[in-house]
Amino acid sequence: GLEPTPFIWFDGELVPWSDAKIHVLTHALHYGTGYFEGIRAYKCANGQSAVFRLREHMQRMVNSSKILALPCPYNVDELCKATIDTLVANKMSSAYIRPLSFVGFGSLGVYPGENPINTIIAVWNWGAYLGAEALEMGVRVRTSSFNRMHPNTHMGKAKASGNYVNSVLAKIEAVRDGYDEALMLDTNGFVSEATGENVFIVRGKTIKTTPLTSILEGINRASVITLAKDLGYEVVETQFTRDEVYCADEVFFSGTAAEVTPVREIDNRIIGQGRAGEVTKVLQKAFFEIVQGNNPKYKEWLTPYSY
């Protein structure tokens, strides 16, 4: 379960964890009318800590509000400052950070009307999302029977609470069938993303990742693309199919929670050698060096803090 931390930032104030409550008739609870972020802070080698790509996450949060045509009560600067305040108040040297804005209590008509928008930022300890051994050994994946949303149903560029019903359906199906994660196809049958991660495949010296059409614009996806190019790999953003994934030398996921996680098996087909491939290992190592402040080249990706 989730270990409580002392404080949650709630509409501009740090309140004790157990007091951060809302009414059961909150609009967002009924209709999924919220938008959120998932961010990580890491303990750095120099004894300080740093949030990874904080501004980019908060810019995406503001973008989500725009896509959903819902107000965002705070700007990027305010959201960044509130995040650091929350980490410091909770004395967290590393954390998973969850900002969420949602349509609050008021009317319960579908039209959000004049309901308030509430905003929270919670922080807690969250280890490797798909399991510590998954970072080394890789995960087992099935192609979902559910498609990722068509851009004219729910718009996947918004990190909207309601969008996650699609992810939850796919995740439940995958886990109950004995897999760790689901690979989702778009409504045209091309590979889209996983329930909470973007997808990369490696064939020879080329790394492919899906285009932005049906996916969440992952911050880690962007980081991996930059990093891979800087390391001399060719990276192509292009559509590909599930059978191309089966034949890939390596497959891996990127995401804030999952970090860089290798995929060792898909639909009962072993990928490559059935464990983290060479390119995946290089990128994963580089990723952890960066987030832990051990690569000055990417220090603009880090927002340092101490308490």
Which residues of this protein are in contact with ligand PMP, per CB under 6 A? 38, 167, 193, 196-198, 215-216, 218-221, 254-256
Whether 271 and 264 have beta carbons less than 8 Å apart is answered as yes
CB of 196 to ligand PMP, least distance (A): 4
CA distance 245 to 122: 36
**3-state class (DSSP) for residue 188:** coil
CA distance 86 to 121: 7
Nearer to ligand PMP, 49 or 214 (CB): 214
CA distance 136 to 281: 8
Amino acid at 149: M
CB of 18 to ligand PMP, least distance (A): 27
CB of 130 to ligand PMP, least distance (A): 12
Nearer to ligand PMP, 104 or 263 (CB): 263
Residues identified as active-site? 159
Whether 82 and 74 have beta carbons less than 8 Å apart is answered as yes
Nearer to ligand PMP, 142 or 221 (CB): 221
CA 23 to chain centre: 27
Packed helices 219-230 and 278-291: angle between N→C axes, nearest 10 degrees = 110
Q: Which residues pair with 51 in a beta bridge?
A: 41, 303
Nearer to ligand PMP, 196 or 293 (CB): 196
Checking phi first, is residue 30 left (phi over 0); if not, alpha (psi -120 to 50) or beta?
alpha
CB of 114 to ligand PMP, least distance (A): 30
Query: Which of 128, 52, 154, 178 lies closest to 167 in space, CA to CA?
Result: 154
CB of 220 to ligand PMP, least distance (A): 3
**Residue 38 token pair:** 């998932």
